[in-house]
Amino acid sequence: MKIKKVECLAVHPGWRKNLIFVRVETDDGIVGWGEAYSQYDRDRAIVAQVEALGQYLVGRQARNIRHFLQIAFDDYAQRRSSLEYWCALSGIEQALWDIAGKAVEQPVYNLLGGTCREKIRVYANGWSYKMQQPADFARAAEQVVRSGFTAIKFDPLPRPWRTYIPKEHIRHAVKVVSAVRSAVGDDVDLLLDIHRRLAPAHAITLSNALAEFDPYWFEEPCQVENLDALAEVRAASPIPVVSGEAMYGRADFRRLFRERAVDIINPDISNCGGILEMLFIAAAAESEMVAVSPHNYNSTTLSLSATVHAAACMPNFIITEYFLPYEEFGSVVTNNPLLPVNGYIDLPKGPGLGLDVNEKVVRSRPSKRYPARTFRMSEDDQPLPL
């Protein structure tokens, strides 16, 4: 069973960024699907990486996943990491596992040693996009909880994202979290995303100010490139600290664990290296008594399914991400989407990743070319020249 064709299909889901699907076909007609992580303005570079890397997969045995991953790093990347490389590798790797499962008519999780759980807890994200006022956050949070979610994630800080912030930004965040907690009650988990933006002093002040609302976690308070800063926050924070979505491969996470910088990691299956790499990272975390909550700012289809299969096999998994604005697209592009019920997703039972992808719909939703954005030093400043 050899690889015949590798194709990258960038699609627009109808909200925010483009999504990047990877289609891999074997010489006996099996088609595997995967998904690479994407960002504004970088999606074309990631597509180029998928196409460049994919040509080295053609003619190889589809089942030799670990071998391809190693030569991709050693010979193609020449042991140099980048976001674009890891995204491309992740999408291709997922598609290979989809093929492996379909070839033997088994779900991927059965090929990985079997499951630790029969359903996967998810938290809702994307519901508070561009909201500013505490009352707006509160009303939207109530609606999400009424739909069945028991955990919700949001960023309480006002824009723009900057390292050093005034005290009024801290006060604003407190008002937002207070309003949401009052709206949803004490039994709903509140996950706070800080998006890597703060200096340690501000992050610690913010964490202490928000602790009274009993948040589930404090995500990415500082840039992960400065592990000393992140560890400083973790040591002082009364809220569990999360990081890892901007790290790629198990070697990156080794540094994170050695510094004792986090309580929970959130690697993304579509940019950390794929399903197998995610499990290697999770196993390393388990030995350090660190929990795993996979990041998933991707579709509610391929990336989510790959995450669910990996999470089913992790003893230290706790919860994963579900982006509500992509739900409608997921229900169109697959005939059997993964839909949460009361905050959980049941494991898919079909072979491979378990999704029936509607290829015609995928090809009918081409990606968008986004216009150049306006960047400002602050909300009151004039736009910076491009």
Residues 279, 254: contact at Cβ < 8 Å? no
pLDDT in the model for residue 21: 98
According to CATH, where is 3.20.20.120 located in the chain?
111-351
pLDDT tens for each residue of 306-357: 999 999 999 999 999 999 999 999 999 999 999 999 999 999 999 999 999 9
CA 10 to mean position of chain CA atoms: 17
382: exposed, middle or buried (Cβ count in 10 Å: 0-12, 13-18, 19+): exposed
Tell me which residue has tokens 């997703």: 345
pLDDT tens per residue across span 111-164? 999 999 999 999 999 999 999 999 999 999 999 999 999 999 999 999 888 999
Q: How many CB atoms lie within 10 A of CB 356?
A: 9
Quickly state the pLDDT bin for 297 (edges 50, 70, 90).
very high
**Confidence band (pLDDT; 50, 70, 90) for 208?**
very high
- What is the set of active-site residues? 295
pLDDT at 386: 39
Q: What is the pLDDT of residue 381?
A: 55
Residue 257: per-residue pLDDT: 97
Task: Say what the pLDDT of residue 376 is.
Answer: 67
Buried b / exposed e along 33-46 (16+ C-beta atoms within 10 A): bbbbbbeeeebeeb
pLDDT bucket at 374, cuts 50 / 70 / 90: confident
Say what percent of the chain tops pLDDT 90: 94
The confidence score (pLDDT) of residue 370 equals 82
Fold of 3-109: Enolase-like; domain 1 (3.30.390)
The mean pLDDT of 45-71, rounded to a whole number, is 97
The answer to whether the CB of 31 falls within 8 A of the CB of 43 is no
Q: Are 285 and 250 in contact (CB under 8 A)?
A: no
Supply the CATH classification number for the domain 111-351.
3.20.20.120
Q: Which residues of the chain does CATH 3.30.390.10 include?
A: 3-109
pLDDT confidence of residue 384: 43
Type of residue at 114: G
CB 335 within 8 A of CB 123: no
Nearest Cα residue to 122 out of 322, 266, 270, 268: 322
Average pLDDT over residues 91-103: 98
Q: What is the mean pLDDT of residues 21-30?
A: 98
pLDDT band at 44 (very low <50, low <70, confident <90, very high): very high
275-299 mean pLDDT: 98
Name the strand (E) or helix (H) holding 175. helix 167-184
- Residue 110: the pLDDT is 98
Within its chain, how far is the Cα of 310 from the centroid?
13
* Main-chain dihedrals φ then ψ at residue 62, nearest 5 degrees: -65, -30
Handedness of CA 128, 327, 307, 21 (dihedral sign): negative
Q: In angstroms, rounded to a whole number, what is the distance separating the alpha carbons of residues 59 and 95?
A: 15
pTM of the model: 0.96
C-beta separation of 301 from 334 below 8 A: yes
Confidence category of residue 373, pLDDT binned at 50, 70, 90? confident
Count of residues in the chain: 386
Return the residue matching tokens 């929990």: 291
Q: Which amino acid, one-letter code, is at 360? A: K
Return the beta strands (E) in 53-188 as ranges. Answer: 119-125, 151-154
Confidence of residue 95 (pLDDT cuts 50, 70, 90): very high
Does residue 375 surpass a pLDDT of 90?
Answer: no
Q: What is the rounded average pLDDT of the residues 52-78?
A: 97
Q: Is it the case that residue 210 has pLDDT exceeding 80?
A: yes
- The rounded mean pLDDT for the chain is 96
Distance, CA of 25 to CA of 33 (rounded, Å): 9
The confidence score (pLDDT) of residue 371 equals 81
Q: According to the model, what pLDDT value does residue 347 have?
A: 98
What is the rounded distance in angstroms from the CA atom of residue 295 to the CA atom of residue 247? 11
pLDDT of residue 379: 56
Average of pLDDT values for 241-255?
96
